[in-house]
Amino acid sequence: MIRNWGVVVLIVLLSNGFCSNGVGLDDIDIDNNNSNNTTIPDVVNIGVLFSFNTSVGKIVKIAVEAAVKDVNSDPSILGKTQLKLSLQEDSKYRGFLSIAEALQLMATHTVAIIGPQTSTTAHVISHIANELRVPLLSFTATDPTLSSLQFPFFIRTSFNDMYQMTAIADLVNYYGWREVIAVYGDDDHGRNGIGALGDKLAERRCKISFKAPMSPEATREEITDVLVQVALAESRVIVLHTSTTWGPKVLNVAKSLGMMENGYVWIATTFLSTGIDISSPLSLSVMDDIQGVIALRMYVPDSKLKRSFISRWKNWTNGSLGLSTYAIFAYDTVYVLAHALAAFFKQGNRITFSSDSKTSLIHGDNMHLDAVKIFNEGKLLRKSIYEVNMTGVTGHFKYTSDGNLANPAYEIINVVGTGTKRIGYWSNHSGLSSVSPEELHSKPASHSSSSQKLLSVIWPGDTTQKPRGWVFPNNGRMLKIGVPKRISYREFVSQVKGTDMFKGFCIDVFLSAVNLLPYAVPYKFISYGDGHSNPSNTELVRLITTGVFDAAVGDITITTERTKMVDFTQPFIESGLVVVASVKKTDSNAWAFLMPFTPMMWTVTAIFFLVVGAVVWILEHRLNDDFRGPPKKQVATILWFSFSTMFFAHRENTVSTLGRFVLLIWLFVVLIINSSYTASLTSILTVQQLSSPIKGIESLINNNEPIGYLQGSFTKGYLVNEIGIDASRLVALTTPEESATALDKGPHKGGIAAYVDERAYIELFLSSRCDFSIVGQEFTRNGWGFAFPRDSPLAVDLSTAILELAENGDLQRIHDKWLLRSACLSQGAKLEVDRLKLRSFWGLYLLCGLACLIALFVYLIQTMKQYKKHYTEDDKSSSGLKSTPSRLRTFLTFVDEKEDTVKSRSKRRKTEMASFKSTSEVGSSNNGYSESSSQRIECTNNET
């Protein structure tokens, strides 16, 4: 505080007691015990510190005076208390002498100051406001750092620039750009605003690639020098953050330098919309300078109050000044202060001032510092201001807990023709949208990319096509592209001996992709490696991050470690890790006919043959004589029928519907099994079979034998860190010949058990080495790509070009030119036997099993119905109740009987029952014959 007061003292000395402006400190006399302070005062002094000779200052003066007049004429706000307005011209509104002008206001019992106009002045005066506890209410000082705890008495009554920069960052991200250039005034307002923009861009993985600060009072020549540097940079997305005074000058110089043509993007902060609104309509020459520019404007929702204010504004200005959002916020700022004072007085507070004890330490006749008083209730008034909750011309006016206005929003406008076109909105609630913010406040907040939408834009150069946003810098610098200097598999990339040129598959892909780009790419290849061993591609990628190389082209595998350092293009070849081992020819043996099926497959097939035979026997036993007879014969029938279906040689006919249904399903299964068996056996007996003790990466993990890998590749790190193989088992090999020799020796003669490398290399390796083969499955899924610095737009464009190469067939033609080899593949050698497993046929077996179960279930229901119908009469005629075992034996006996016998006996029983009924009717008329009739019936039953 002492240091800040030192600055104040210096300014007071320079201003000679402020007498030059006609207000002397000797004229001020404050009695702290004045009885008038015990009641609500009749007049409350408020000050306005602005540069009224500027366009913004002019509209602020009109708006503030109108607001004070409206407040004083409305007794419902402050009652009989009147606001007394003191206007102080901030002639040096860039900072230093503004302190003296601020002190002049504070020396007049001012309880609050509206202003200052700029953030630079606000930074200086806020220190005085802190000392004297006088709130500063500003709607034009939008520097985000003014909201810090360092300036508790600075109160912003408009939107913080932090939100404006968030909107710009969302715009950049929406259009897919990754780098921007910031052109700004090199003062507190410019630096801190661009700092906030950098933070918001970083959150979206974007960045400011070049900062171009300018002096706030830069001449045309200085502006030209800065913009020439901007034109030489790569990015074509330019964010202009400055004041309404010299911002248009920057755009005019940019127009003269050809920087308003096709390919450029200009995004201006609120200074441009303010200038357009105040000076509307602008001259044709000025409008021509800003065609296609995107600008932001603080959003004020439409309302009855706003429409009334617009109508009154025309009367106040007679049409000489346009209406800017600053005028609306200035008007509402007075109302906010009035409502805060009303709440302040209702709480029983009063306005009192007291001297600062520090001023007594300073002596001198010309200082008069005793006239500068502290507003004792300043903290209470500040609290009342932050608690204001009202509806003004700007809409719902309310502060959040961090001291910023709630629901900040901006209009996004596009300068087109002689005016502007709104292309959308940005709000802190829902981000970018073509719908007004008040319509979205009732819905849940959503910042997803799918909900972000803007209308079409007319870009500089009068085009509707979105600019790419960057070009290669026109400064003669060529891209330094690192290329690995390989000594093995030179088909992929190799240096032409005695020259700086390179050739190979990877080089041809890169050159073809570059030729598809819509712009020229200056580059030069730089070899990386000593020429005696394969260089580390990971180290090559790392050198991009240090600036040694601008890119890397070659057989560079895209791995997790490398993607953390750089960006890769779309993969131009797939290449996962595989295991190669020595193989030997396997001859067929006497038991080769068992090899097509696995043991499990043989077992399940045999079980199903027996199950189906048993099911068909059950379904046919009561109907078909072929399935009846002595037990031994029936067992033989089941076995014969079951296995004869394998050759479709079964001689037993099926007569039941259920039996035919099951047999039909089973014969279909047998047909598939026979066909598969025949095909597999043919392959085993006619195609050369190869075998190896190594079955894949799993068998390598479980033993301790040495494993070879290509020196310089990522294979070693993957096997050690991901698979868990001990590094001592790994042997670095340099050339394919060295790898083949090590495989031939084997692990017991100083060689290796297997060789692990990428499939792209292995295909070349095996093309002329038929004693080796890939064993097991590919156990990684990688690809090769070209490496570029993080967020490089060239990586995106080359990815698109690579996809185009793949679609038009050029990528395959390049592959065939360099990598097509088929010497060993023509032999038709096959590793191991592709034995048929149960999992390939479980669906057929499931279908057959379900058919058997359904048939048995239906058969059981039918049999039980027959049993109930044809056999229960005997149970009723027999005396007493049968036990459960007896009933079961009776049911099994019924099931064993032939169906025709059961039906014949049932028919005969029905005939006898009919005869008995007629005899009973005769006996009813002649009782004498009843006994003999009963005896005849009984005799008949016994015979049966």
Is there a contact between 260 and 287 (Cβ–Cβ < 8 Å)?
no
pLDDT at 826 over 80: no
The pLDDT of 417-441, averaged and rounded, is 91
CA-based torsion, 128, 133, 134, 139: positive or negative: positive
User: In this model, does residue 752 exceed pLDDT 70?
Assistant: yes
Task: Determine the pLDDT at residue 29.
Answer: 38
Q: What is the mean pLDDT of the chain?
A: 82
The per-residue pLDDT for 17 is 39
User: 793-808 vs 810-819: helix axis angle to the nearest 10?
Assistant: 80
Report the C-alpha gap between 70 and 308 in whole angstroms: 13
Residue with tokens 């039918």: 862
Tokens of 773: 């083969």
pLDDT score for 695: 78
Average pLDDT over residues 109-113: 91
SS3 assignment, position 186? coil
Residue 410 has pLDDT above 90, yes or no: yes
Provide the pLDDT for residue 884: 63
Mean pLDDT of 511-522: 89
Spell out the residues 6+ positions from residue 917 whose beta carbon is closer than 8 angstroms to its own: none
Longest C-alpha distance within the chain, in Å? 163
Q: How confident is the model at residue 433 (pLDDT cuts 50, 70, 90)?
A: very high
Helix (H, G, I), strand (E, B) or coil at 84: strand
Least confident of 197-211, 706-720, 763-777, 819-833: 819-833
Tens digit of pLDDT for each residue in 38-90?
Answer: 478 999 999 999 989 889 999 999 999 999 999 999 999 999 999 999 998 87
3-state secondary structure 328-391: HHHHHHHHHHHHHHHHHHHCCCCCCEEECHHHHHCCCCCCCHHHCEEECCHHHHHHHHHCCEEE
Whole-number pLDDT of residue 596: 77
**Whether the Cβ atoms of residue 182 and residue 241 lie closer than 8 Å to each other:** yes
Residue 311: both structure tokens together: 């109508």
End-to-end CA distance of the chain: 130
pLDDT category at 888 given cuts 50, 70, 90 is low
Mind listing the pLDDT tens digit for each residue in 207-224?
999 999 999 889 999 999
pLDDT at residue 484, as a whole number: 94
Distance CA 932, CA 589 (A): 86
Total length of the chain: 944
CA-based nearest residue to 350, from 341, 362, 340: 341
Percent of the chain past pLDDT 90, that is, above it, reads 46
Phi, psi of 404 (to 5 degrees): -105, 155
Q: What is the distance between the alpha carbons of residues 404 and 398, in angstroms, rounded to a whole number?
A: 9
Tell whether the model's pLDDT for residue 783 goes beyond 80. Answer: yes
CA separation for the pair 71, 83 (Å, rounded): 8
Task: Give the helix/strand (H/E) hosting 209.
Answer: strand 207-214
Residue-wise pLDDT tens digits, 847-879: 888 888 888 888 788 777 776 766 555 554 444
Number of other residues whose CB lies within 10 A of the CB of residue 661: 17
SS (H, E, C) 588-641: CCCCHHHCCECHHHHHHHHHHHHHHHHHHHHHHCCCCHHHCCCHHHHHHHHHHH
The DSSP line for 883-935 is: PHHHHHHHHHHHHHS-HHHHHHHHHHHHHHHHHHHHHHHHHTT-GGGHHHHHH
- Of the chain, the percentage scoring pLDDT greater than 70 comes to 79
pLDDT exceeds 60 at position 679 = yes
pLDDT in tens, 272-284: 999 999 988 888 8
Pick the residue with more confidence: 409 or 90?
A: 409
Note the pLDDT tens digit of each residue in 523-550: 999 999 988 888 999 999 999 999 999 9
Over residues 903-908, the mean pLDDT reads 66
Pick from 565, 506, 556, 510: nearest CA to 536: 556
pLDDT at 22: 35
Write the pLDDT tens digit of every residue in 474-511.
665 789 999 999 888 999 999 998 888 999 999 999 99
